[in-house]
Amino acid sequence: MTTPRSMNDPFATPVAGRLAGKVALVTGAGSVGPGWGNGRAVAVRFAQEGAIVHGVDLDSARLRETAEKVEASGGRFFGGECDVTRSDSVEAAVQRALQSHGRIDILVNNVGGSAKGGPEQMSEAVWDQQIAFNLKSVFLTCKHVLPAMVAQGGGAIVNVSSTSGLRWTGAAQVAYAAAKAGVIQMSKVMAVEYASRGIRVNTVVPGQLHTPMVEVRLAGQRAGGDVDALLRERQARIPLPFMGDGRDTATAAVFLASDEARFITGAEIVVDGGMSVRCD
């Protein structure tokens, strides 16, 4: 089931200018397939609001569609390759952004992906990879961006977690759930530590969205390649009668990154159609 975008599309009538003059570094700004992944949607939505977007991805080819969509909206996009699990790669990406524009006003940590299994089924190697990909990546980007934000007198960090970090969401993915819970708590700790220096840290917590990753990866893992069956299974957990996508994550991220959220830090916005508050 798809979102009734013709009735209410946040990308169709953006409130232009909320991020005007801001420089944003967005990780995972590509997508594994066509459509609206979280990172791609964030990059486009930020550009629509006036931000200069530096988007990075492990595979720079995935940034092409993102760049095309940003340019079609009249925005400015600079893309580059980055392995967010490696400190030297993250540092290089941060320095490229700083050398180009002298500052980073917004950091969006969007990289993530799940692997199935509980402690018995999951190998130690997969556990380590999941923690590095979903949690260490946030630590590394913050480690290299925060000094610049401190020096310039402020900034906004938006970390993307998952409802898997809040509750059981239908499948055992113990490392992903632990890492995404860690992202939420890391955000709270940084929010308090850096509040006096004008840096806000908040988290968007998406639920089970219809993104390209669902069709390319998750369907093969959980529904034998039957995308429609997986979407029906996921939709059944959502009280609203449609499934959101990356644009819904992006709209929440815009608000948290903007001055409209100037008095909000250490908070979470859950974007899941009501799934996490169900009692069954």
**Size (the chain), residues:** 280
Q: How many helices (H) and strands (E) does the chain have?
A: 10, 7
**Boundaries of every domain in the chain:** 23-210+246-273
Collapsed DSSP state (helix, strand, coil) of residue 154? coil
* Residue whose tokens read 């959101």: 244
* Residue-level pLDDT, tens digit, the chain, 280 residues: 444 444 466 676 655 799 999 999 999 999 877 889 999 999 999 999 999 999 999 999 999 999 999 999 899 999 999 999 999 999 999 999 999 999 999 999 999 999 999 999 999 999 999 999 999 999 999 999 999 999 999 999 999 999 999 999 888 999 999 999 999 999 999 999 999 999 999 999 999 888 777 766 665 555 566 778 878 888 888 999 998 999 999 999 999 999 999 999 999 999 999 999 986 6
Residue type for position 176:
Y
Pairing state between β 199-206 and 268-271:
parallel
Structural contact between residues 159 and 189, judged by C-beta atoms closer than 8 angstroms: no
Give the separation between CA 235 and CA 110, rounded to whole angstroms.
23
Give the residue from 111, 95, 72, 114 showing the smallest Cα distance to 218. Answer: 114
154: CB partners within 8 A, 6+ apart: 105, 197, 198, 199
Pick the catalytic residue: 36, 139, 176, 194? 176
Residue with tokens 């290299």: 144
* Confidence at residue 35, expressed as pLDDT on a 0 to 100 scale: 83
Q: CATH classification of 23-210+246-273 is 3.10.580.10, yes or no?
A: no
The pTM score is 0.90
SS3 state at 215 = helix
From CA 115, how far away is CA 126, in angstroms rounded?
A: 8
Angle 50-54-56 from CA coordinates, rounded to 5°: 140
Question: How far from each other are the two terminal CA atoms of the chain, in whole angstroms?
Answer: 21
How high is the pLDDT of residue 8?
63
User: Catalytic residue at 194?
Assistant: no
**CB pairs under 8 A, 24+ apart, for 190-195?**
190/142, 190/146, 190/157, 191/265, 191/266, 191/267, 192/266, 194/146, 194/149, 194/150, 195/265, 195/266
